[in-house]
């Protein structure tokens, strides 16, 4: 969380040079589909359903609750920082906060398997770049990555099974 605040204060109310360079590029709209709410909700729904099917009730509950709580906190933080893009509050990005947390929940539900880690990392990096090319500054997406990662870390701790010392 400290990183979210540090970055927010460092970048201030406007874009950085890197933000402007990325905004000068054009992201194809079809590639933005996986940062849209219906797609994210479907992915999360499958992850929660799988956790329920496996009898992992706590994991299912944490996976279902963590993304909306994270997005609400992103919306509250936007008011704290007041950074805008095209007249809308921008930092940290709610789209990327949701993407990071949902990707993290998929990794947790998949038991940390390599395929889930790779897919989550690819989705998050691609989402950050594409959203940073369109309706957010890239640094807004970095703040969202930091915020979302904090929520994933808390979620992982909440669902961790106790270790048995032998």
Token pair, residue 103, equals 């990707």
Nearest residue to 139 via CA among 5, 15, 24: 15
pLDDT recorded at residue 95: 92
Domain membership flag for residue 27: no
Per-residue pLDDT at 164 exceeds 80: no
Per-residue pLDDT at 21 exceeds 90: no
Q: Say how many C-beta atoms besides its own lie within 10 A of residue 53's C-beta.
A: 9
Residue 36: what are its φ and ψ, rounded to 5°? -85, 145
pLDDT recorded at residue 56: 94
pLDDT recorded at residue 51: 95
* Mean pLDDT rounded to a whole number for the chain: 88
Beta carbons within 8 Å of 78's beta carbon, 6+ residues apart: 89, 90, 91, 92, 94
Domain membership flag for residue 124: yes
- Report d(CA 45, CA 115) in Å as an integer: 19
pLDDT recorded at residue 32: 77
Domain membership flag for residue 6: no
Output the CA angle 20-81-91, nearest 5 degrees. 45
Domain membership flag for residue 56: yes
Domain membership flag for residue 24: no
Q: Read off the pTM.
A: 0.90
pLDDT: is 84 or 101 the higher one?
101
pLDDT recorded at residue 166: 59
How many domains does the chain divide into? 1
Domain membership flag for residue 148: yes
How sure is the predictor about 99, in pLDDT bands with cuts at 50, 70 and 90?
Answer: very high
Per-residue pLDDT at 10 exceeds 80: no
Domain membership flag for residue 112: yes
Structural domain of 135: 34-159
Contact between 82 and 13 (Cβ < 8 Å): yes
pLDDT recorded at residue 60: 96
How sure is the predictor about 96, in pLDDT bands with cuts at 50, 70 and 90?
Answer: very high
Domain membership flag for residue 80: yes
- Report d(CA 93, CA 143) in Å as an integer: 7
Contact between 95 and 143 (Cβ < 8 Å): no
- Report d(CA 15, CA 84) in Å as an integer: 9
């Amino acid at each position: 969380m400290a990183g979210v605040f540090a970055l927010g204060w460092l970048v201030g109310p406007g874009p950085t040079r890197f933000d402007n360079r990325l905004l000068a590029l054009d992201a194809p709209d079809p590639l933005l589909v996986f940062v849209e709410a219906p797609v994210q909700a479907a992915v999360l729904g499958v992850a929660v359903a799988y956790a329920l099917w496996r009898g992992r009730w706590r994991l299912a509950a944490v996976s279902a609750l963590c993304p909306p709580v994270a997005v609400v906190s992103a919306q509250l933080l936007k008011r704290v920082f007041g950074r805008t893009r095209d007249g809308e509050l921008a930092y940290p990005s709610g789209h990327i906060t949701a993407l990071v947390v949902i990707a993290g929940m998929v990794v947790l539900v998949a038991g940390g398997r390599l395929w889930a880690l790779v897919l989550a990392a690819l989705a998050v990096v691609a989402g950050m770049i594409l959203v940073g090319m369109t309706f957010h500054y890239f640094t807004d997406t970095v703040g969202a990555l930091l915020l979302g990662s904090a929520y994933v870390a808390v979620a992982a701790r909440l669902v961790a099974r106790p270790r048995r010392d032998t």
